[in-house]
Amino acid sequence: MPSDDDPPVELEARLADQETFEPSAEFVSQANVSDPAIYDEFEQNWPECWERAADLLSWDQEYDTVLDDGDEPFYEWFTGGELNASANCLDRHVEEGRGDELAIQWEGELGDTREFTYEELLGEVEEFAAVLRELGVAEDDVVTLYLPMIPELPIAMLACARIGAPHSVVFAGFSADALATRMNAADSDHLVTCDGYYRRGDALDHKEKADEGLESVDGDTTTVVVDRLGDELEHSLGENQYDYDELLAEQEGASVDPVSRDAEDMLFLMYTSGTTGEPKGVKHTTGGYLSYAAWTSHAVLDVEPDDTYWCAADIGWITGHSYIVYGPLALGTTSVMYEGTPDYPEKDRLWELVEDYGVDIFYTAPTAIRAFMKWGQDYPKEHDLSSLRLLGTVGEPINPRAWKWYYTHVGGEECPIVDTWWQTETGGMMITTLPGIGTMKPGSAGPPLPGIDARIVDSGGDEVEAGDAGYLTVDNPWPGMLRTLYNNDERFLEEYWREYSDPDADEWVYFPEDGAKIDSDGYITILGRVDDVINVSGHRLGTMEIESAIVGTEGVAEAAVVGGDHDLKGEAVYAYVIVEDDYEGSDDLRERIVEGVEEAIGPIARPEEVVFTPELPKTRSGKIMRRLLEDLASGNDLGDTSTLRNPDVVDDIAAQVGDD
């Protein structure tokens, strides 16, 4: 740790010019992966190299084929193999005599704690699996889980996996409408939710939101309600609604054998935002996804069974699926779960948890690091963080200053940092340094992982020169990739494969819709989304979804939503709104617009600013100039506006942005 005599400014200055960092010899000597030959091994032995990932799992039936590419781009992995995800995350550790080791270390926002050993977790999962069966959940039925960060969420996920029922987790911060849209899209008749949870010390009513959503769900839903808040919040059960504890008590001691699933059977669905208004149901499978989550947890996060590992994300997003639940539990480590916000009751809450539990590995998002930075170094300094050996970030680009702050004030200049690029669709990490091998370059994620063939190309698909910006593409498939969009193969092809593939030549190229640049040493710097998706605090929001919520507000004629730079959130939502003739751009309308967005999506999509304008800047051909609106929101230079049909409107808008 830096000594107290080091004034912060000098410390920054000392590191300001340092462009590369090396992992310590101590870290390298204990790392799960430390031989650089792994890159060549994977390349020369592709796709069989992926057996290394599959070998981290226990299979009921060995697979025949590593990769079946008979129907590109509908790739299949480890075909012929059979396994169960919950057995891999629980039973085998218990069978190996590790049943009394901690699987989940949970802490509530108010400081209440719950711990589950592998044996205890297995018991709960079996009981809840029996509950689900009793309620009529059959193999392949989609069960929706609308739960906050409480242990019942991973328990329900693993119980679903045990009986072969795919789960679809809906982030608890999403609105009632968002829940209904996702349940309808997945034809899901089963819901697990709860009465409420704590946020900044307040008891939030979650059941009310779930009930409101259920009103718009087609068909009959069976609902299980977890009682998180006890007497703190009264709730009643309606028709077809059951109390979690009561159902569990009826199944006390139940044993439910894990169902053998085909490697390619669906493990879960995860809805994510895309360019159009409808969220995309990303389908992940049992063998490929689980082996990839386990492999990347092993190789990148350096997870070992005796670690206390903490990914401070929400399980409602893919990060939590892969790196709170499936990856770490498959490897038999202790995964820490925290219910609340990082600044409650004080801004040192996370560091207190690191110290109390002796966390070894800590994985979070740049937006959180920027907040820590703003709060100041005294908060981490108050705690003993010497248990940490590795740090990670995910979700958005991290600027070098935030990287160095994290490295210094959290990692004590001793922990390597992995800046991991990936997506809901990729299932797991794709571009990052391996912590026991790679030189770190703050701001640049690093080279593609072994076996991942990422390239930066121009709009024609040709690789760009080192240093130039282009589009990120991935040439080879990998086990953790999405298999399709649920019930929508056509959109799957359209969204990810149309742009750069050449089907006639049998060349299939995955397009993640990110811009990037590559250095001469092969390090990739991610520049951000190139589609109409905004990345707010590491969370993906579709501009179309927000626009349609705004246009649904009475008095609004037209709206354009863009992302603008934001110090803490990375990007924030800016809404440009044209009002109907009989209405005025009033504070009241502004409030109704914000409420409308919160109702349609959730508070995370709340516009930072709502700017009323008589017109939107349009090209002569009538297209909205989104780039210009983004520059206005970010306070950037506007450059040439002469191609606009209505250049005056720009000054008008510029005068308003940042005014209130």
| Interaction site with ligand WT7 (CB under 6 A) | 272, 318-319, 394-397, 419-424, 445, 512, 514, 526, 528-529, 535, 538, 540
Q: How far is the CB of 526 from ligand WT7 (least distance, A)?
A: 4
Q: What residues have CB less than 8 Å from 280, skipping those under 6 apart?
A: 271, 272, 273, 274, 485, 488, 491, 495
Q: If DSSP codes are grouped into helix, strand and coil, which group holds residue 583?
A: coil
Radius of gyration of the chain (CA): 24
Q: How far is the CB of 14 from ligand WT7 (least distance, A)?
A: 26
Closest CA to 193 of 180, 201, 7, 480: 180
Q: How far is the CB of 395 from ligand WT7 (least distance, A)?
A: 4
Nearest residue (CB) to ligand WT7, 194 versus 361: 361
Nearest residue (CB) to ligand WT7, 389 versus 529: 529
Closest CA to 563 of 524, 496, 609, 505: 609
Q: How far is the CB of 453 from ligand WT7 (least distance, A)?
A: 17
Q: How far is the CB of 495 from ligand WT7 (least distance, A)?
A: 12
Nearest residue (CB) to ligand WT7, 258 versus 512: 512
Q: How far is the CB of 426 from ligand WT7 (least distance, A)?
A: 7
How far apart, in whole angstroms, are the C-alpha atoms of residue 105 and residue 103? 7
Angle between helices 176-185 and 207-214 (to 10 degrees): 50
Nearest residue (CB) to ligand WT7, 477 versus 538: 538
| Residues comprising the chain, all counted | 660
- In the block, tokens 């891999």 appear at 88
Q: What residues have CB less than 8 Å from 451, skipping those under 6 apart?
A: 42, 43, 46, 47, 49, 50, 476, 478
Which phi and psi (to 5°) does residue 539 adopt?
Answer: -115, 140
Which ranges in 241-317 belong to alpha helices (H)?
244-250, 286-299
Nearest residue (CB) to ligand WT7, 419 versus 495: 419
* Strand extents, DSSP E, 92-238: 102-107, 113-117, 143-145, 167-169, 190-194, 196-199, 202-205, 222-226
- Is residue 309 a contact partner of residue 357, using CB atoms and an 8 Å limit? no
Angle between helices 152-163 and 118-134 (to 10 degrees): 60
How far apart, in whole angstroms, are the C-alpha atoms of residue 85 and residue 260? 9
Q: How far is the CB of 416 from ligand WT7 (least distance, A)?
A: 15
Nearest residue (CB) to ligand WT7, 348 versus 419: 419
Nearest residue (CB) to ligand WT7, 535 versus 553: 535
Q: How far is the CB of 544 from ligand WT7 (least distance, A)?
A: 16
Closest CA to 251 of 185, 155, 335: 155
Q: How far is the CB of 252 from ligand WT7 (least distance, A)?
A: 37
Q: How far is the CB of 514 from ligand WT7 (least distance, A)?
A: 5
Q: If DSSP codes are grouped into helix, strand and coil, which group holds residue 28?
A: helix
Q: If DSSP codes are grouped into helix, strand and coil, which group holds residue 401?
A: helix
Nearest residue (CB) to ligand WT7, 327 versus 397: 397
Nearest residue (CB) to ligand WT7, 223 versus 424: 424
Burial class (CB in 10 A: 0-12, 13-18, 19+), 183: buried
* HEC readout, 321-368: HHHHHHHHHHCCCEEEEECCCCCCCCCCHHHHHHHHHCCCEEEECHHH
Nearest residue (CB) to ligand WT7, 148 versus 427: 427
- Is residue 410 a contact partner of residue 362, using CB atoms and an 8 Å limit? yes
Which phi and psi (to 5°) does residue 226 adopt?
Answer: -80, 135
Nearest residue (CB) to ligand WT7, 272 versus 553: 272
Q: How far is the CB of 188 from ligand WT7 (least distance, A)?
A: 21
Nearest residue (CB) to ligand WT7, 235 versus 283: 283
The helices-and-strands tally (H runs, E runs) of the chain is 23, 29
Distance of CA 269 to CAs 129, 478, 647, Å?
18, 18, 45
Nearest residue (CB) to ligand WT7, 63 versus 478: 478
Nearest residue (CB) to ligand WT7, 130 versus 482: 482
How far apart, in whole angstroms, are the C-alpha atoms of residue 572 and residue 594? 13
Q: How far is the CB of 605 from ligand WT7 (least distance, A)?
A: 13
Q: How far is the CB of 429 from ligand WT7 (least distance, A)?
A: 8
Q: How far is the CB of 396 from ligand WT7 (least distance, A)?
A: 5
Q: How far is the CB of 467 from ligand WT7 (least distance, A)?
A: 18
Closest CA to 268 of 280, 286, 287: 286
Nearest residue (CB) to ligand WT7, 137 versus 300: 300
Distance of CA 176 to CAs 287, 304, 439, 561, Å?
33, 39, 45, 22
Nearest residue (CB) to ligand WT7, 272 versus 286: 272
73 cis-preceded (ω within 30 degrees of 0): yes
450 cis-preceded (ω within 30 degrees of 0): no
Q: Which two tokens stand for residue 425?
A: 């669709």
Q: Which two tokens stand for residue 332?
A: 């038999």
Q: How far is the CB of 597 from ligand WT7 (least distance, A)?
A: 18
